[in-house]
Every structure is written in C-alpha cells, then in structure tokens.
Amino acid sequence: QQQVKQSPQSLIVQKGGISIINCAYENTAFDYFPWYQQFPGKGPALLIAIRPDVSEKKEGRFTISFNKSAKQFSLHIMDSQPGDSATYFCAASSPGNQFYFGTGTSLTVIP
C-alpha cells in the first residue's frame, strides 16, 4: 500500500501564483520529510526537508508546512516561475530506514 499519498497528480499555475502540493502519511515513526524536484531527463534532487519538531520551514520561495496531528505536510511555492515547472515528489522515512515516495506532482507554470 502507498505509505505516502500525494496530491494533486498535476498542477497548472500562472506565473507569480502560489503552487501547493499536499502529502499525507500514516506511519507515526516517520521523522524526516523531504521534497524532491525532478526536471525531465534528470534524477530527483533534494529541494527542502523538514523534521516533525517544527511546523514550518522556509527556504527562499519554497516552504514546507507540517501538521503532525493530521499527519500531513505540504510544499508551497511562492511567486511561481516557469523555471519551477518540474515534477515534485514528497517522501518520508524513519531512522535507519528507506524513504517512501509519493507518486509525484507534475507542475506547469504558465508565463
């Protein structure tokens, strides 16, 4: 079964808008929640990550919001740009264990 559920599958946003991608998990042992960005023909690359001791982490235009009680976390891309068009994966892991990935969100930012 899918350990991490990601939505939406695809997203189209106007330039300058906010892109929001959501993920949910069930395993309360997960303690590391990264987001990966993947451009066509490339491998996924770590974008930003959070641990459950904080509710939000911001790096530039990218913010992770984390809701431990709801077992949900989300990626917000502020002032979205055409260069942000890519596939985004959320993931979760527990100490010493493998990562479980969401199914990915294809983001298109329209100029």
Partner 1 sequence: DAGITQSPRHKVTETGTPVTLRCHQTENHRYMYWYRQDPGHGLRLIHYSYGVKDTDKGEVSDGYSVSRSKTEDFLLTLESATSSQTSVYFCAISGVEDGYTFGSGTRLTVV
74 binds partner 1 (CB under 8 A): no
98 binds partner 1 (CB under 8 A): yes
CB 6 within 8 A of CB 105: yes
Q: Which is nearer to partner 1, 10 or 14 (CB)?
A: 10
42 binds partner 1 (CB under 8 A): yes
Kind plus residue range of the DSSP H or E element containing 100:
strand 100-101
Q: Which is nearer to partner 1, 20 or 48 (CB)?
A: 48
Q: Which is nearer to partner 1, 69 or 98 (CB)?
A: 98
How far CA 24 is from CA of 32, 81, 109, in Å, comes to: 13, 26, 24
